[in-house]
Structure 1
Amino acid sequence: MKQQIREVLKRIELEYDVQILFACDAGSRALGFADQESDYDIRFIYVHKLNWYLSIDQKKDVLELPKQDTLSIEINPLLDMSGWELTKTLRLFRKSNPSLIEWLQSNEIYLQQYSTIEKMKAMTGNIFSSKSFIIHHINIAKRNFDVVLAKKEGNIKLYLYILRSILTGQWIVKYGSVPPVEFQKLIQILSPGQVKKAALKLLSAKQVGEPLLNDIDLTIIDDFIVKEIDFLESYAKQLSKSQPDPTNTLNQLFRETLEEVWS
């Protein structure tokens, strides 16, 4: 599949007249939740030629394949591919967009070329906003937990996403740094006990393809989720959102990228 993904990325470059700077998996495979049936959630960052940017009209800055955009070749149904144009990417990076920063931390990288991404990674520590990250993951946890409660079933995938968001928040509280992407690393922040044991059981079940789990007391997990969401919400309110403005640096990075890629 990796070779096919790279072939599709090359085809995108040819047919859309862009260069892809970076492509990674941002779904269950990157997070450590994957089973044999899991999709490949490929996210990429691309740059157009100079003339594309010299326009008074705003243009489309996202590619979504096969959902909204097309290619001349068939795309494997397991592939869900979405890319952001570079200026959109840098604007979101300036805001410490959690999804983007997590892409940059992915351990499933399919393409990385030119120097832009390494420069962005080197800037991440200064760009990173604890407040933005925690609020983002609180919202994910609350939204998924509402679904779990409404359906009244032990949906393993949803529980894992909820737990991952909470553990991401806990990591930030404890270390004040960009959290790892992988669930297996995040879970190490939990002390040995019933919650950690139940979380590991959920992970094992998901990796073998079980959609539901009814043989453990999920109230242990539910109580933990409610408690930690309340704590993280209170913690986030105390955090400052003020960050040094990196706009000039990012503008320069954009110009350097155009020069490096297209000269």
Structure 2
Amino acid sequence: MTEPVSKSMHATICRRLDEIAAEENITILLAIESGSRAWGFHSPDSDYDVRFIYTRPIDWFLTLGKKRDVVERPIDDLLDISGWQLDKALGLAIKGNAVLAEWLQSPIIYRAIPEAHQAVLDFCWGAMQPRPVMWHYLSLAQQHQSRAQTEDGRVRLKRLFYTLRPALSLRWMHKNDFDIPPMDMDSLCAGAALAEGEAEAIAKLIALKIARAEKAVGAAPDALIFSIIDRALDQTRETLKSLPDQPNGSLSAAADRLHIALTKQLS
């Protein structure tokens, strides 16, 4: 398997992040890889999904007028780069945003201010709730499951993995007291209590995915793959019928304090 990010590509991405920081007058707290290269099943032609969290100088917040809380750049065949402002990220953490939780634990980091990264990670872990995280992964799996198979019984490999990974995330949560799941396939499989045959079926599917183009279509995989998915989704639907909401309104003041502290520190 090729390295998910080569040294030369890592350097290219870091240079692009530096350019964006200068163009936007922002400070990047954390920049990571968020797509299949971080998940552990990138194809040879997979692009790079770079995501970051940033803050701006204090004076920017004091000026009048409507302001955007995201930074985006046009997507090309190689790079997909965008970021969330710190206050947006903290607000989403309070709502139990699973995407942010994944960013904060990505195994591929391009830029990081360690103290800020740890502070946001600690806040996020204290704010995360099982119910919205499970809804996220259930919805994601259902969305891609409906488009994973072709009319002739073959599978779109990318769609299948975009179904399997959230299904494994849900299984991992059920096996680990509803904690927030890791983002990469190795960690998910290690903590999902897979039977030997299930682990072998997933390993074979990963080997096929990383050898094929991003939009490849293949023969239907081992039936165990579909069984893993179906059982995880069915179990989650039952769990969500009784899993309570845990309002996080009290975290707003803590989010404000963290936002103010990091903005002052980095302005």
Asked if TM exceeds 0.5, the reply is yes
Write the letter of the residue equivalent to 1:115: E
| Residue 116, structure 1, aligned to residue 116, structure 2 | yes
Aligned to 2:128: 128
How is 1:200-239 mapped onto 2 (pairs within 5 angstroms)?
200-209=203-212, 211-214=216-219, 216-217=221-222, 219-239=223-243
Q: Which residue of 2 aligns with 1:185?
A: 187
1:85 maps to which residue?
Answer: 85
- Equivalent residues of 1:127, 1:243 under 8 A apart: no
Q: Partner residue of 2:5?
A: none
Corresponding residue for residue 104 of structure 2: 104
Task: Give the conservation status (yes or no) of the 8 Å contact 2:94–2:124.
Answer: no
Quick one: distance in 2 between partners of 1:124 and 1:165? 20
Change (3 A) 1:240 1:58: farther
Matched, 1:32 2:32: no
Uncovered stretches (5+) of structure 2, i.e. residues with no partner = 1-8
Secondary structure of the residue aligned to 2:66 is: coil
Aligned to 1:59: 67
The one-character-per-residue Cα deviations of 1:2-53 (angstroms, maximum 9, x if unpaired) are 1111111111111111111110000001100113211110000111111221
Alpha-carbon distance between aligned partners in 2 of 1:226 and 1:114, rounded to the nearest angstrom: 39
Distance 2:145 2:263 in 1: 43
Q: Is residue 2:246 matched to residue 1:242?
A: yes
CA-based RMSD of the aligned residues comes to 1.9
1:198 Cα offset (Å): 2.2
Q: What's the TM-score once normalised by structure 1's chain length?
A: 0.89
Report the TM-score when normalising by structure 2. 0.88
Post-superposition offset of 1:215? 6.3
| Distance in 2 between residues matched to 1:27 and 1:215, nearest whole Å | 24
- Aligned positions of 1:66-77 closer than 5 A: 66-67=74-75, 77=77
Aligned equivalent of 1:73: none
Report the number of matched residues.
Answer: 253
The alignment partner of 2:255 has SS state of helix
Deviation of 1:56 after TM superposition, in Å, equals 4.4
**Structure 2: distance between partners of 1:19 and 1:241:** 35
Within the alignment, does 1:7 sit opposite 2:15 as a pair? Answer: yes
Q: Distance in 1 between matches of 2:240 and 2:205?
A: 28
The answer to whether residue 202 in structure 2 is matched with residue 199 in structure 1 is yes
For residues 234 and 195 of structure 2, the distance between their equivalents in structure 1, rounded to whole angstroms, comes to 22
Q: Which residue of 2 aligns with 1:161?
A: 162
CA distance in 2, matches of 1:5, 1:220: 38
User: Please, which moves more after superposition, 249-258 or 206-215?
Assistant: 206-215
What's the offset of the Cα at 1:58? 2.9
Deviates more, 1:151-160 or 1:181-190: 151-160
Gaps of 5+ in 1: 68-75
Query: Which amino acid is 1:197 matched to?
Result: E
Task: Single out whichever of 234-243 and 207-216 deviates more from structure 2.
Answer: 207-216
- SS state of the match for residue 49, structure 2? strand
Q: How far apart, in 2, do the equivalents of 1:172 and 1:129 lie?
A: 11
Percentage of matched positions with identical amino acids: 28
Deviates more, 1:242-251 or 1:253-262: 242-251
Q: Decide whether the 8 Å contact of 2:148 with 2:157 is kept in 1.
A: no
The question of whether the paired residues in 2 share the 8 Å contact of 1:94 and 1:247 is answered with yes
The 10-residue stretch of structure 1 (159-168 or 104-113) with the greater mean CA deviation from structure 2: 159-168
Mapped partners of 2:83, 2:220: distance in 1: 40
Q: Deviations over 1:89-121 (max 9, x none)?
A: 111111121001100010100001263221111
